[in-house]
Amino acid sequence: MTTSQAGRDLDTSRPHSARMYDYYLGGKDHFEVDEKAALAVADAYPGIFVCARENRAFMHRATRVLAQEYGIRQWLDIGTGIPTEPNLHQVAQSVVPEARVVYADNDPLVLKYAERLMRSTPQGRTTYIEADVNDAASLLTAVEASEVLEFDRPIALSLNALMHFVTDAQDPYGIVGRLLDALPAGSALALSHCTPDFDPATWDKVTAIYTSAGTPVQFRAHDDVARFFDGLDLVEPGVCVGHRWRPAATGSEGAQPTDAQVSLWTGVGIKR
């Protein structure tokens, strides 16, 4: 079954990674086919729900740190996915009401929910553009055409749980490099990336599930994720497991997830 959205077909006959992620987060914007695939992942890797929550929590913390400690006032969030509140612009504008955010995704599914992404504070601005990270030049042209971000001022490039959907054959490091080259000094990269480092056999199963659903993935080891930050000044504590990056106080050490449950490398770097 397909439904039309903005002149494009929205395929609901096969699992969709964004809708599966919505299921992991406890959302309602998914279908039975997505739930079935998500449960297959959860059967192989029960930590997937923790991983998804910790990915969102990292995005929130990284956004606040960049706003509060590094003076960032502009964000380019690529691979936005289905909006889950609080969205990045809500976090940023809670710290700096004048924050500007451009969301980018190439999926018609996201366009369906894009109105949620454009509810800005009066002082700030937000917008959504349809663009593909695999075509960095066209994406950047669309961002400039939106006239929301000013490219002579620092911009935070947010790539959360995106680059493991870009295989080596698609030149992931070249893509990130081209995006960063367009940004001025003082800009930032905030990135999270699933990893097989703590349980390779389990992640082989997860890879097979996504691949069979028509979504190629490449989960990477620590050093391969750290390579995305080459040439940048890493913000402490560097590239680490998601829940260990600037953790918020929980009041209970026993409540902390394990590294294997999270299985997510995260980091923030500043462009010189």
Name the pLDDT band for 249 (thresholds 50, 70, 90).
low
Q: Are 104 and 142 in contact (CB under 8 A)?
A: yes
pLDDT digits (tens, 9 = 90+) for 39-48: 999 999 999 9
Helix (H, G, I), strand (E, B) or coil at 236: coil
Name the pLDDT band for 4 (thresholds 50, 70, 90).
very low
Mean pLDDT for all residues in the chain: 92
CATH 3.40.1010.10 is held by the domain 17-244+260-271: no
Element (H, E) at 232: strand 232-234
Whether 239 has a pLDDT exceeding 50, the answer reads yes
Sign of CA dihedral 243, 63, 161, 172: negative
pLDDT digits (tens, 9 = 90+) for 143-179: 999 999 999 999 999 999 999 999 999 999 999 999 9
The first and second tokens of residue 252, run together, are: 């209970």
The first and second tokens of residue 144, run together, are: 């400039």
Whether 260 has a pLDDT exceeding 50, the answer reads yes
Domain boundaries, the chain: 17-244+260-271
Give the pLDDT confidence score for residue 107 in this predicted structure.
Answer: 81
Q: Are 36 and 67 in contact (CB under 8 A)?
A: no
pLDDT digits (tens, 9 = 90+) for 198-237: 999 999 999 999 999 899 999 999 999 999 999 999 999 9
Alpha-carbon distance 193 to 257, whole Å? 17
Q: Are 149 and 92 in contact (CB under 8 A)?
A: no
Mean pLDDT of 98-109: 91
Alpha-carbon distance 49 to 27, whole Å? 12
